[in-house]
Amino acid sequence: MEMIIEQLLFSASITGPICLMLALGVLLKRTQIINENFIDVASKLVFNVTLPALLFLSIISSNHSLASSAHLIGYGLIANLLFFILSTYATGRLFPKHKDQGVIIQGGFRANTAIIGLAYVSNAYGSSGVALAAVYVASMTLLYNIQAVICLSPKGEESSQRAFGVIIKTITKNPLIIAIMVGMLFYLLAIPVPKMVLDAGHYFANMTLPLALLCTGGSLDIGSLKHEKHSTWFSTSLKLIFAPLFITIGALLLGYREIELALVFLMSSAPTAAASYVMARAMGGNAPLAANIIALTTVCSLVTCTLGIFILSALRLI
């Protein structure tokens, strides 16, 4: 009994702080201490400045051999690609004439690795975990953007050319990818960074997760879940049940354990990324449905992720 309580406390120590920050975001929004304008500005600050700073600093200060994690990144890319294919097939079978197939599929595979996933890893393994997760986040960001454009694009030669342009634009202008690529360059070439710059960067980096989680909580709209129930719950099931099961079991079979297995699970069990709403809107998809999926997966992931951590720790796999 004592061991079970200890494992439950370990699970709660990872997801609990995120839950509290999300709840605080909801409370601050309800009491009008923060508003939509604050959330919009703060979200842009996180995406364009503080999160890139966190990822860059995590890489250049890492004691972990990033080259040795190439196999893990490769597995993550292949597993997520296969799950995307399975999600597309399952959605096509269950919603054959649904006009919003692309939005449902995107909600099922596109994890919020850069904020929620990174917060999970940070709580579990600290800065060493974040450094390993940073490269994983970059790889998944590339893959998710390509997959999102594919599933949201209408059929046709003209739309295919437009989709290719969107893919190139989202990859080359993504601040997270740019920061991680520059960080890798500094790390591999051992380029020194002045202490003054590092200190200023850490001020920005330390703002990232609290500010991002407050904004995520403040932007949640649980009331919107009364619409598109079947498609919302199906996409949520893909994201929070089938994706973690498929990707984590695959990692287990390949022999991954400890921090690497935990990283794969925590990233795959993160809720649907907020960027899926922006992408759905930009590509002419059902943006309200995308918002519903984000809200439901964000709330439910706190339960499913805690349960998953408990099971893995009870089995002494992480």
- Token pair for 157: 């030669």
CA distance 53 to 58: 8
Please report the sign of the dihedral spanned by the C-alpha atoms of residue 247, residue 59, residue 218, residue 104.
Answer: negative
Which residues are CB-contacts of 227 (< 8 A; sequence separation ≥ 6)?
288, 289, 292
pLDDT in tens, 37-92: 998 888 888 888 888 888 888 888 776 666 668 899 999 999 999 999 999 999 99
pLDDT of the residue at 65: 64
Q: Which helix (H) or strand (E) holds 91?
A: helix 70-94
Which residues are CB-contacts of 305 (< 8 A; sequence separation ≥ 6)?
14, 15, 120, 266, 269, 270
CA distance 298 to 300: 6
Select from 259, 256, 12, 24 the least CA-distant residue to 126. Answer: 259
Q: How many degrees, rounded to 5, is the angle at CA 196 between CA 195 and CA 197?
A: 90
Please report the sign of the dihedral spanned by the C-alpha atoms of residue 301, residue 302, residue 303, residue 305.
Answer: positive
pLDDT in tens, 156-206: 545 556 666 767 776 777 888 888 889 888 888 888 888 888 888 888 888
pLDDT of the residue at 157: 47
Quick check: 210 pLDDT over 70? yes
